[in-house]
């Protein structure tokens, strides 16, 4: 996969040289390029922003440096496939999810346009549609100063799904959000630490019981911490043990979705 990132703070992306993503680049799995938006300016001051039409606080990123930078990125696309995907990090975008990470992981070419200030002139986003499949994307409902930190998160989430990046691909199966539930709690040695014991079932050697306990913990945690995930969880074709686990936690399955039984308390959280 090729990834291009355009930013006025290219140094912000330095962590992408580290750890699994850095290794993927060394191994030739990920061809990642970071571009300084200012190198696409033509004035003496390398200006990338200006005041907003209509007034208001802050500055807006000028269109021309962006069109120059994105044209260079579009021309660098590998192979002769379709349009590359252009992710525009923004709190006003669609939510970034594990499902979107999987969608992006099969693309040949991704580009990220890191806005700062109040954002990029909207005409750039429209124009870019001629060259890219444009997707404004948000990490969540809070505001960052710019897209760079969001890009670090998204490149890591996508990069680790590329074949050969995570050593043991089974690690990708049993983790939070891979099946719409949060992950079960994990423990390692010692078996007793500061008077706290590891749950006895995990020391039993009974792998069937352990799998059942972990599944129950997934439902319990998701119910406590993320009831919103459980509301949309597909409980239509669950095995008997999973249905029982949900019932013990106070849920009935109605039209294939877990629904909190009348009279059961909100989970503590
Ligand atoms: Cl993707 N960008 C910015 N600037 N702020 C955010 C965000 C992205 N996601 C949440 N807040």
pLDDT in tens, 167-207: 888 888 878 888 899 999 999 999 999 999 999 999 999 99
Question: Is 149 in contact with 115 (CB distance < 8 Å)?
Answer: no
Cα distance between residue 136 and residue 134, in whole Å: 7
pLDDT at res. 168: 86
Position 142 scores a pLDDT of 96
CA dihedral 222, 228, 229, 232 (to 10 degrees): 140
pTM for this structure? Answer: 0.94
Q: Is the CB of 144 under 6 A from ligand 1?
A: yes
The Å distance, Cα 84 to ligand 1 centre, comes to 21
The answer to whether the CB of 88 is under 6 A from ligand 1 is no
Residue 156 burial by Cβ neighbours in a 10 Å radius (0-12, 13-18, 19+): middle
- Look at the block and give the residue holding tokens 């040949």: 108
Classify 124 as helix, strand or coil.
Answer: helix
Distance CA 168, CA 179 (A): 18
- What ligand 1 atom has the least distance to the C-alpha of 151? 1
Testing ligand 1's pocket by substitution, the residue of 144, 149, 157, 158 carrying the most ligand atoms inside 8 A of its CB is 144
Going by the DSSP 8-state scheme, the letter that residue 43 receives in this structure is: S
- Give the distance (Å) from ligand 1 centre to CA of residue 184: 28
Q: Which of 93, 116, 146, 147 to mutate to test the pocket of ligand 1 (most atoms within 8 A of CB)?
A: 147
The secondary structure element, H or E, covering residue 227 is: helix 227-231
- Measuring from atom 2 of ligand 1, which residue has the nearest CA? 90
What are phi and psi for residue 222, nearest 5 degrees?
Answer: -65, -40
Question: Which residue's entry shows tokens 């970034």?
Answer: 96
pLDDT in tens, the chain (269 residues): 999 999 999 999 999 999 999 999 999 999 999 999 999 999 999 999 999 999 999 999 999 999 999 999 999 988 777 899 999 999 999 999 999 999 999 999 999 999 987 999 999 999 999 999 999 999 999 999 999 999 999 999 999 999 999 988 888 887 888 889 999 999 999 999 999 999 999 999 999 999 999 999 999 999 999 999 999 999 999 999 999 999 999 999 999 999 999 877 665 54
Q: Of how many residues is the chain composed?
A: 269
């Amino acid at each position: 996969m090729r990834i291009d990132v355009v930013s006025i703070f290219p140094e912000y992306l330095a962590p992408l040289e580290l750890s699994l993503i850095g290794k993927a680049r060394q191994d030739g799995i990920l061809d990642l390029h970071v571009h300084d938006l200012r190198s696409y300016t033509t004035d003496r001051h390398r200006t990338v922003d200006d005041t907003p039409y209509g007034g208001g606080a802050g500055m807006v990123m000028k269109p021309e440096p962006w069109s120059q930078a994105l044209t260079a990125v579009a021309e660098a696309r590998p192979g002769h496939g379709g349009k590359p995907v252009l992710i525009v990090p923004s709190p006003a975008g669609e939510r970034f999810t594990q499902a979107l990470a999987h969608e992006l992981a099969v693309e040949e070419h991704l580009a990220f346009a890191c806005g700062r200030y109040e954002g990029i002139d909207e005409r750039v986003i429209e124009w870019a549609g001629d060259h890219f499949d444009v997707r404004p994307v948000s990490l969540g409902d809070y505001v960052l100063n710019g897209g760079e930190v969001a890009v670090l998160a998204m490149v890591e989430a996508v990069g680790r799904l590329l074949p050969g990046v995570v050593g043991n691909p089974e690690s990708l199966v049993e983790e939070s959000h891979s099946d719409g539930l949060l992950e079960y709690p994990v423990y390692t040695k010692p078996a007793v630490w500061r008077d706290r014991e590891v749950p006895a079932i995990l020391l039993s050697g009974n792998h069937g019981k352990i799998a059942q306990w972990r599944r129950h913990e997934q439902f319990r945690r998701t119910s406590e911490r993320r009831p919103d995930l459980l509301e949309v969880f597909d409980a239509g074709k669950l095995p008997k043990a999973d249905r029982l686990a949900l019932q013990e936690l106070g849920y009935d399955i109605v039209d294939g979705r877990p629904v909190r039984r009348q009279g059961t308390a909100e989970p503590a959280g």
